[in-house]
Structures are given as structure tokens and as C-alpha cells.
Amino acid sequence: MSAYAVEIRVTPRRGLLDPQGKAIQHALDSLGFAGVGEVRAGKLLVIELEADSPDEAAARATRMCEKLLANPVTEDFAIEVGRDAAQAEAAT
Amino acid sequence: MRAVVVTFPGSNCDYDCLQVLRKVMGVDTRFIWHREHELGDPDLVVLPGGFSYGDYLRAGAIARFSPIVEAVKRHAGRGGIVLGICNGFQILCEAGLLPGALRRNESLKFRSHDVHVRVETTDTAFTRAYRPGQVLRIPIAHAEGNYIADPGTLERLEADGRVVFRYTTREGARGEGGNPNGSANDIAGIVNPAGNVLGLMPHPERAAEGVLGSTDGLGMFESLVAHLAHERVA
């Protein structure tokens, strides 16, 4: 059993109007940043998760997204399983 | 007739609902805490407005896992009447009792003011006291009331007459200025296929006594009392 740092990115579904992203896009435009296309604003969840393997951590994180963390009607999610948290700490 | 109003941590319209049901309508009404597992066999369950669990993650996302919501699902499954107002509507969508979702208002602003909604159907337990097409002036107070569903779901809602309330102008016209939050098809409230679960963003309980400036919301509670009295006799 290891502790993994699982990062879950939840974003408004592509193609749906994201008012927050649009406001940010306009702000970037008005500040003179060139070449800014569509902006979507979501959330990043960082979860410390005990699991036997990275695959198991990813599978459990997927179930968490389906059940609670993302709304299937409006949001997409992406999961990244980081290094074993303890190992990462030891390495620093 | 007996009613319960579910209180979640962060509910703030529970007393308003109790006031209308108990004091204005004379209905035997009590609060029920969200940690309870049983509703006690009421005729009507109200999920009130507010900010359950601080709206953390998404409005209604965490409240839907409160123990009482399982009891609300059983009640709805038996054909029991469920009314979700504002945060209650958000919880019903998150719990899967109503389709779709309520996203951040298009304006990104918390909108708190009166709106006009048109009664699209009087063929429900919630609206039988209104006239078809009647325009009601009722307040909203929300940041996430922007209703969305996939195109197939929207089509079914429309085809089945399950859009019960729609934002309009004062005159009852769709388009310019009526829609306060960007909702698809100007949807303000919908029912489930069986017609016993309704969710809406506007607050009828805040427009149910003259002292509040509008009594246009009272018709919903009168409808429910009449419907349930009729059912009891039938």
C-alpha cells in the first residue's frame, strides 16, 4: 500500500458556454495578451490516496469523479496519478 | 395533509416554507433534519432554498448524499409529492430525481430580484390553481440557476409538457430581458415524468403573503393542498 498524490482536473464540458472562462478570456484580451483563444475555468483537486498501485489509484479516482467530483451533465474530468507521496517527500 | 421541510446545514429558506405551509395554508408541517433516515410518511416533502454544505464543489452535490435524500427518493418512487425550491432544485438534479443541471448564471452574478415566470401547464399537482399562461411575479436569489440539459432531454421535456415555468417578460413574452440566468429554453421549473417531483429556481414561498409584495407564489401551495385533499378523497 502506498500513498499517491492524485490530481483531478474538472473542467466545463467542451462546447458548453463557460461564462467564467469567457470573462477571463475578455480580461486577457483587454490586457493586450495576443492570441488567446477559448478559456475554460475549472477546478483542480489534489487527493492523497492510499492504494496498492497507480492503476488502482486511478480506478478509484475515476469512481470518485463519476459519483461526486464531476457533474456528468456539464463537466469533464481528467486524472493524473503522481508519485508515491512518501517517496516524493524522501526525494526532496 | 402533512408536510415536512428538510433542513440541511446551510438551508436558509426552511422557515419561509414552514411559515407559508403552517401559518398561511394551515398545513400540519414540521422540519426534518438531513441526518434522519425516515420522513415519517408525509404527503408533501419540501427541499428548501439555501446553501447546503456551503455550495462546496457544486450546489447540491454534497447534500444529495445526506441520509434523508434516500428517504426522499423512496417517497418520490411511491408517487409522493416533492417540491424543490432553488437549492432544493439543485439537489433534485444532483440526486438524479430531475434531469439536467444548474450552472453558474451567464452574468456570473448572484441575481436577487423579482422575475416574471409564465405558467406553462396547469395540468400538475403544483399548478392547478393557476390559469394557463398566467404570468407570476416571484423573486429569485441565486448564482447557479442556469438550467442546462443535453438536447435530447430538452426535447423530451418540451414534448412531454414538463417545462412548468418559463422566464418571460412582464407581458409573458419570451426573449429580451426575461431570462435572468441564461437557462436553456428560458426554463425556470420542470417536473419529472410522473409529475410528482417539481424543481424551480424562483421562490414561491417568498411571494405568498401580501406583506411580502406579491402573492403570486401562493397558488402553488393552494394547488398542492387542493391536489392532496382530492387524492385523499379519491
Q: Is residue B101 predicted with pLDDT exceeding 90?
A: yes
Q: What is the pLDDT of residues B179-224, one digit of tens each?
A: 999 999 999 999 999 999 999 999 999 999 999 999 999 999 999 9
Asked if A19's CB is within 8 angstroms of B182's CB, the reply is yes
Query: Would you call B58 and A71 a contact, using CB atoms and an 8 Å cutoff?
Result: yes
Whether residue A15 is predicted with pLDDT greater than 90 in this model: the reply is: no
pLDDT of residue A86: 62
Count Cβ neighbours within 10 Å for each residue of A6-39 and write b for 16 or more, e otherwise.
bebebbbbeeeebbebbeebeeeeeeeeeeeeeb
What's the pLDDT at A91? 62
Measure the CA–CA gap between B183 and B186, rounded to whole angstroms. Answer: 5
Task: Give the Å distances, CA to CA, from A44 to A11, B56, B94.
Answer: 9, 13, 20
| Interchain CB contact of B25 with A (< 8 Å) | no
> What CATH code is assigned to B2-233?
3.40.50.880
* Neighbouring-strand partners of residue B81: B44
Q: Where are the domains of chain B?
A: 2-233
- For B110, other C-beta atoms within 10 Å of its C-beta total 12
Tell which CATH architecture fits domain A2-91: 2-Layer Sandwich (3.30)
d(CA A8, CA A69): 9
Of residues B61, B93, B108, nearest to A19 (C-beta): B108
* Chain B residues with CB-CB distance to A73 below 8 A: 93, 100-101, 148-150
Q: Which residues in B lie closer than 8 A to residue A10 (C-beta atoms)?
A: none
pLDDT tens, residue by residue, A21-30: 999 999 999 9
Report domain extents, chain A.
Answer: 2-91
**At which residue does the C-alpha cell 492570441 appear?**
A35
CA-CA-CA-CA dihedral for B174, B104, B126, B190, to nearest 10? 70
B86 is catalytic: yes
Between CA A42 and CA A14 the distance in angstroms is: 11
> Do the interacting molecules here have an ipTM over 0.90?
no
Closest Cβ opposite residue B149 in set A12, A68, A73 = A73
- Is a pLDDT exceeding 90 seen at residue B175? no
Q: Where are the beta strands (DSSP E) in A1-92?
A: 2-12, 43-51, 75-84
Residue B159 touches chain A, beta carbons under 8 Å: no
